[in-house]
Amino acid sequence: MNRIIALEKTSFLKSLENLRSLSDVRIVKKKVQLLRDRVLQTTSFRNRPGRNNHLLVSRRYLAGELEQIQQSHTLERANYYLSRLQKSLTSVKTAKINDLNLRRWKEYDEVLTDSLWLLPDRDASAGHSAWYWGNFVPQIPRQLMLRYTKKGEWVLDPFAGSGTTLLECIRLGRNGLGVELKPSVVRKTRATLQSMPSRANNTASIEVGDSVVTDFRKVLRQHGANSVQLLILHPPYHNIIRFSKSRRDLSNARSTTHFLELLGKVIENSLEVLDKGRYLALVIGDIYSKREWTPLAFLAMNEVLKRECLLKSIIVKNFNQTTGKRKQEALWRYRALSGGFYIFKHEYIFLFQKQENLSRR
């Protein structure tokens, strides 16, 4: 199991230093074996030793690094790996847009880097109850925040719904602002947010609003912020689910063209408050209706591309089947076979970066 273990800092670093002073690679390897046997039995982090005197490190990572040293054929190689291990334990190197320590990147098993996301069942912990029809799985905002924000930064979700993004903000120590058209949904989401344990360093709120016309800067200022560092947009997939009867609701747009027009305005509006160089994620699927597949997701992607953003990734994510669809599986299979089409099993997450220099394009 990949446990976090706590190493006594001074003595472990001293052991590494001693290993680097040896002049025979065979002795280095023998001593590394002894060190391995000793430290991999070390106390698991569950015993909560004092943070300052201890190095917290994943057992799997440490075992892998020590094994690599043992596999070295030359003293130079062994010393290179020893020095890399020392550095990874004593210094931090992060990118501008997240808190991932690149010196210990091998420890981030949880963070996805492939463009195909086959996510298992939805995460039902930390207040996520999946009561809202049309929500997304918490793993989506979680992955996005781990890659594209630092602790204490701001995330805006202009189609907040049941607040999946906002709950993940709380869990990950980010600040979140959600805007949602339906007052009844906002009331329920707000109550969920307020029921979460109080937090000293971050806030997550939801406001009623039409994101086509909301002045996000003004709302952000009311919450003590000026701009955001990540946008997560999960709009209706046009009329696949009708969220309300309101004509302001994107799910009631008259046509695909009208939907894209409204979505374009929300994108433009949200980009106003996104810092340059930071990311926008658009989560959306296609539509099959009246014997025709509409590539809604790619049309929506184009709306962002019209607005000075670089496309960074197109992620294909498995579709979590609704209970209704699952019950009708045989019927859909028959329809697909007779109608000459394929059944949706995926949706998209498009990732864009707001350009640093708008005149570059």
Residues that bind ligand SAM (CB under 6 A): 132, 134-136, 158-159, 161-162, 164, 179-182, 185, 210-212, 234-236, 243-244, 248-251
Pick the closer one to ligand SAM by CB: 66 or 181: 181
CB of 136 to ligand SAM, least distance (A): 5
Assigned token pair, 167: 């709950």
CB of 234 to ligand SAM, least distance (A): 4
CB of 262 to ligand SAM, least distance (A): 7
The residue sitting closest to ligand SAM, measured at its beta carbon, is 161
CB atoms within 10 A of CB 89: 19
CB of 6 to ligand SAM, least distance (A): 37
- Residues whose CB falls within 8 Å of the CB of residue 7, separated by 6 or more in sequence, listed in order: 39, 42, 54, 55, 57, 62
The DSSP output letter for 94 is B
Pick the closer one to ligand SAM by CB: 176 or 235: 235
- CA nearest 142: which of 166, 178, 161, 158? 166
Residue whose entry in the numeric block shows the structure tokens 């002795």? 27
CB atoms within 10 A of CB 165: 31
Asked if 252 and 331 touch (Cβ cutoff 8 Å), the reply is no
Pick the closer one to ligand SAM by CB: 85 or 160: 160
Phi, psi angles (nearest 5°) of residue 9? -60, -55
Pick the closer one to ligand SAM by CB: 69 or 166: 166
CB of 58 to ligand SAM, least distance (A): 31
Asked if 296 and 283 touch (Cβ cutoff 8 Å), the reply is no
Strand 154-157 relative to strand 175-180, pairing = parallel
Pick the closer one to ligand SAM by CB: 82 or 263: 263
CB of 70 to ligand SAM, least distance (A): 47
Pick the closer one to ligand SAM by CB: 81 or 216: 216
